Amino acid sequence: MTDAAPETELGFTDEAIEAARVLFQRQATFVMGAAKLDQLPEPDLPEIAFAGRSNVGKSSLINGLVGMNKLARASNEPGRTREVNFFDLDGKMRLVDLPGYGWAKASKTTVKKFQDLGRDYLRGRVTLKRVYLLIDSRHGLKKVDDEALDALDLAAVSYQIVLTKADKLKKGEGEKMRDRTLKAIAKRPAAFPAVALTSAEKGDGMAELRAEIMRTTGVGL
């Protein structure tokens, strides 16, 4: 009988980390951007979605997960993502980029239109396994995030907080922010009881996030 493989600090074995790395090295392609609910692709693959404030680093995180620079396009204009964008990972799963929130330059009518699209997707997507809600680790949860948290709880969609841009923090600040964030969501019914600390630029936490996504979707297991 062989000993069990050792786990990383976040509860993943080296084998799980490697399996997730291999999975996310598969070909990733942009599928489509949907501006209306009836434009969504058929719900025939597991999906995980990314949400967050405008300029929180969603595009960078998605690109970092798949090891590509330009799969998801970042913009200098906050709030430019006004569709639900779908990316296919080698026919195994879809990564979904939801419209950001917290914009200052869009009209209230426009904002409501693509916020409603995001909410409709959350409520009606049977293949959605989890939403990863991105929060800038330098600022933590803000009042503007409350609406997103409430919408996720109302839709009863499992979601996990991912702290981004951890490379911008001083030593020790990331762990403090992770603990503070975990306490803030402790009583929220749909919140997954773990907070990921990541840096798409430096790669910190990305291996564990890939493993978490693989475990959540069941793809490759």
* pLDDT tens track for 85-144: 999 999 999 999 988 775 444 445 555 655 677 778 888 789 999 999 999 999 999 988
- pTM (2 d.p.): 0.88
| pLDDT surpasses 90 at 151 | no
- Mean of the per-residue pLDDT values for the chain? 85
Amino acid at site 93: M
| pLDDT surpasses 60 at 79 | no
Residue with tokens 């990564």: 95
Phi and psi, residue 34, nearest 5°: -105, 125
Tokens of 165: 């841009």
Report the pLDDT value the prediction gives residue 117, as an integer from 0 to 100.
78
Q: What is the pLDDT of residues 6-60, one digit of tens each?
A: 333 457 899 999 999 999 999 999 999 888 888 899 999 999 999 998 888 899 9
Pick the closest to residue 52 from 209, 163, 130, 127 (CA basis).
163
Tokens of 192: 């997954």
Pick the closest to residue 128 from 183, 207, 51, 55 (CA basis).
51
Phi and psi, residue 119, nearest 5°: -65, -40
The 10 Å CB-count burial string (b at 16+, else e) for 55-88 is: bbbbbbbbbbbbeeeebbeeeeebbbbbbbbbbb
| pLDDT surpasses 90 at 3 | no
DSSP letter assigned to residue 129: E
120 three-class SS: helix
| pLDDT surpasses 90 at 209 | yes
Pick the closest to residue 216 from 197, 192, 189 (CA basis).
192
